[in-house]
Amino acid sequence: MLLCLFSAGPGSTDSASLTEVEACMRANTPEKTGTQQFGIGTFDGDGEIRSVGGTLWWRRFDDGLSKLSAKLDKPPDMRGTAFLLVEKPDRKDMFTYLPELRKTRRITSRSVAGSLFGTEFSYEDFQHLQSLGSTSTRDRLPDEEKAGRKMYVISSRPTKDSGSAYTRIVSRIDQETCVPLEVDFFAHGEEPVKQLRVPIDSLTRAGEVWIPKQATLRNLDNQRESRLSVDEVEFDVELPKALFSQSRLERL
């Protein structure tokens, strides 16, 4: 969603050369808050099978840690479905509210690979897209150039106790805008199981921050893909702290 926030994030590093990449990506983040309208269409070989849309809010607090909440407005049968992600020093807590059950449930490590809003994005994928991914060890690989764009390349290996569905995640980050344009997710072997792609012509500037207005996540196992679109982006607007509480989920 807020893909401009995808960064090296917290965790251990194996190379001091990561500092340059981290600084680039930190410079491409809002100061305090962000809000946006989003839509996600999911497709298989026969066409669209699901479309959802809603609002996402993000806030960085005084301790430097972030919280994020999202609520669906459509389709009608999913209206009111909500999600909360809370970054803590040693973990990330996630909760989802299901209006048909009138119940908020915690996302555990066993269910972190489950589908977010019925899309090909898993809860874990969502964490990574918000730079709130699980603890991992990171390496900077040799820079690459694609379609005339110079790319930083980062390889991330989630720790065994993180509950991650992936053994390795490779991100290619545009050096000019500091936005990840390609992310490959590996679960086994040398071929990725998912690929995230951001079209270079979808990048736009909101104030001092570059954001992608489109992104596609393709699941190579089932050949489905979810296409994200972003609209009405605002940064550093006033957002109440209560918006990011578990008790508020059912009233978003």
**pLDDT recorded at residue 5:** 41
Cα separation of the two ends of the chain: 18
3-state SS, residue 16: coil
Residue 143: both structure tokens together: 């820079």
Along the 252 residues of the chain, how does pLDDT read in single tens digits?
Answer: 455 544 334 444 445 588 888 888 888 888 899 999 999 999 999 999 999 999 999 999 999 888 999 999 999 999 999 999 998 887 788 999 999 888 899 998 778 889 999 999 998 888 776 654 455 788 999 999 998 999 999 998 887 777 788 999 999 999 999 999 999 999 988 999 999 999 999 999 988 899 999 999 999 999 999 999 999 999 989 999 889 988 888 777
The answer to whether the pTM exceeds 0.85 is: yes
Single out the residue of 250, 251, 249 nearest to residue 85, CA to CA: 249
3-state SS, residue 103: strand
**pLDDT recorded at residue 130:** 61
What's the angle, vertex CA 112, arms to CA 249 and CA 156, rounded to 5?
120
**pLDDT recorded at residue 126:** 81
Domains annotated on the chain, with CATH: 3-251 (2.50.20.10)
Q: Which residues pair with 222 in a beta bridge?
A: none
| CA 98 to chain CA centroid, nearest Å | 21
Compute the distance between CA of residue 252 and CA of residue 250 in angstroms, rounded to an integer. Answer: 6
